Amino acid sequence: MPQSVAGNVVLFAIAAVAPSALFWAVVNVPRALRRLRRPALVSEHQPIECIAADLRRVRRVLSCFQPGTSAIKRIGARQAYDELLKQACSALDVPHRLDTLPEGVDRDIERMRLEECLRNLGLSV
């Protein structure tokens, strides 16, 4: 008689745990499989051709502002240009100081230095 009680307790435990275990497996196994099939190397930035095209486009916008253009548009375009310069520098392993320099002459000089450095590496800005 004690063996049948123990067997019943084991069966009850299996019946109680099985739905939770099955639900856990349905939720977590696909995630684990995706982790195992993760690609080896994924580029962190977009292709340099796209960055160069965006740089040229934003630079054209910066040069075509009319005298009455609002400061907000000018600042936004300049910040977009700086972000694209940072992306290009990151893609080509060029050190830059755009993050540390405040707006002004020093930052303008850094932009020109980076543009020249990128041109020397073959990137048409």
Torsion of CA 105, 121, 62, 106, to 10 degrees: -10
Task: Say how far apart CA 36 and CA 93 lie, in whole Å.
Answer: 30
Q: In the structure encoding, which two tokens stand for residue 62, read together?
A: 């910066």
Instruction: Name the strand (E) or helix (H) holding 34.
Output: helix 2-36
Q: What is the mean pLDDT of residues 91-118?
A: 91
Task: Say how far apart CA 78 and CA 98 lie, in whole Å.
Answer: 12
Task: Say how far apart CA 90 and CA 44 lie, in whole Å.
Answer: 10
pTM above 0.75, yes or no: no
Q: Decide if 92 contacts 49 (C-beta within 8 A).
A: no
DSSP 80-98: HHHHHHHHHHHHHT----T
DSSP state, residue 54:
H
How much is the pLDDT for 80? 93
Residue 77 or residue 43, greater confidence: 77
Q: Decide if 55 contacts 97 (C-beta within 8 A).
A: no
Cβ of 88: how many Cβ atoms within 10 Å? 24
The per-residue pLDDT for range 15-45, each reduced to its tens digit, is 888 888 888 888 888 887 787 776 655 556 6
